[in-house]
Structure 1
Amino acid sequence: MQKEQKPFVEIYADGACSGNPGVGGFGAILRSGKKEKEISGCDKMTTNNRMELLAVISALEVLKKPCKVAVTTDSNYVVKGMTEWIQGWIKNKWRTSQKKEVMNRDLWERLLKASSGHEIEWKWIKGHNGHPENERCDKLAQNAIKNCQTIRKQRVDDRRQTEG
């Protein structure tokens, strides 16, 4: 019996922050053959690096079975983290080479879990450089930030009306 071929999925991901820390958003595109899905989300108080991580994590968590995946991002932090730094962090009990705690450990652990079972190729591209999918992901992230800010503003306005 022949071993079943893993589906190939392209993931494009980007995160953004209005202020750092501040309101953040992420966007990702998943593409497999002719199927395509866009996802996005926001956080009212976060950092750009957390949003970059969440973009990739959220996309990988959508996958229902083991896949061959090409992750394309403009985040050196994510790419180098997964290809160069993470094994050392784990070996050093989540400490950097400077003996400091690894920032965003919760998300790195979540990314490790989301990555398991997949064959992943990590690709870095220069951001805001005309790459169509990267530009779309950035737009998704920016729109998520606007939505988060609108919801936050509505809550403040609602509170003022009920207090006034």
Structure 2
Amino acid sequence: MSLFGNGLGEPYDEYGEQIRRQFDPLCSPMYRHVPKNQLVVYNPVKNVSQLQMRHPRTGVIEPDRLTVVLSIDGACRGNGTPTARAAWGVYFGPQSPHNASGLLDPTLPQTSSRAEIEALSQALRIIRTTISADYTMTRFRIRTDSEYLMKALSLWIEGWIENGGRRAQGKPVAHYQVLKDIHERLEDMEYGEDGGMDFKFWHVPREKNREADALANQALDGWAS
């Protein structure tokens, strides 16, 4: 993957095509020169975290007011056993009223991967029902430690749809229907009648995603107590 991209931080794939739903701050001249410890800051007025950018003319580091940075994660205890229980977490910033977590519906597969997908689904619900009312924030950067989820919705989903929910080798895609539904929701929020939003997935190491993981585990703690 190239470290060069457009101003939105979209990297190029091996064929020189920009990946429209992936985000890497190193791929943007606005973000790559901001120190890592200053790249994401919490806006207590908007109740969300936002990116900071280096102004192209002045060189001053300032908030990118169009952005919202959120983190998603899932957790599962007893993964792979009949008694497994999974939960999801969505984190917008310290003490943000938009932070949320919950247990996975017991009718769903109780796995960490399904919980991560549910976290994304719940994040889109929160954005649609609350944050989207503020038209000054339209660029959503979704941090996840799941490389699979990032690639599924930025590289693979359209091919899976063309293949009827199967991989190139003919094997069925796990959780295909819910991933397809999320893709369609993203398309509607980006290009639909009430769209205008921009979504990109930001893959981060697990240690950089602790807040969302903690929220998911809090939901599991409440279930276990």
TM-score range, shorter chain: 0.7 to 0.9
Alignment counterpart, residue 125 of structure 1, candidates 204, 211, 215: 204
The 3-state SS of whatever aligns with 1:100 is coil
TM-superposed deviation, 1:37: 1.7
Alignment counterpart, residue 119 of structure 2, candidates 39, 47, 55: 55
Alignment counterpart, residue 91 of structure 2, candidates 4, 29, 51: 29
Letter aligned with residue 40 of structure 1: S
Is the Cα–Cα contact under 8 Å of residues 49 and 77 in structure 1 kept in the other structure? Answer: no
Aligned residue for 1:11?
Answer: 70
C-alpha RMSD of matched pairs (Å): 2.2
Structure 2 counterparts to residues 133-148 of structure 1, below 5 A:
134-148=209-223
Whole-Å separation in 2 of the counterparts to 1:28 and 1:72: 10
Report sequence identity in percent: 26
Letter aligned with residue 181 of structure 2: R
Aligned residue for 1:76?
Answer: 147
Aligned pairs, how many? 139
Which structure shows the bigger proportion of residues in strand conformation?
1
Whole-Å separation in 2 of the counterparts to 1:120 and 1:36: 21
Whole-Å separation in 1 of the counterparts to 2:96 and 2:87: 24
TM-superposed deviation, 1:35: 5.9
Aligned residue for 2:45?
Answer: none
The 3-state SS of whatever aligns with 1:37 is coil
TM-superposition CA deviations, 1:114-160 (whole Å, max 9, x none): 32323111110110x2x2xx21111111111222334xxxxxxxxxx
The 3-state SS of whatever aligns with 1:46 is coil
The runs of at least 4 aligned residues of structure 1 exceeding 3 Å deviation read: none
The normalised TM-score by structure 1 is: 0.75
Is the Cα–Cα contact under 8 Å of residues 29 and 36 in structure 1 kept in the other structure? Answer: no
Structure possessing the higher relative contact order (Cα contacts under 8 Å, 6 or more residues apart): 1
Aligned residue for 2:110?
Answer: 46
* Deviation larger for 19-28 or 70-79: 19-28
TM-superposition CA deviations, 1:31-81 (whole Å, max 9, x none): 6xx965211111245111111111111011112338321010001121011
Which structure shows the bigger proportion of residues in helix conformation?
1
TM-superposed deviation, 1:25: 1.0
Give structure 2 stretches of 5+ with no counterpart.
1-64, 190-196
Is the Cα–Cα contact under 8 Å of residues 69 and 141 in structure 2 kept in the other structure? Answer: yes
The normalised TM-score by structure 2 is: 0.56
TM-superposition CA deviations, 1:76-112 (whole Å, max 9, x none): 1210111111111011111112212211123202321
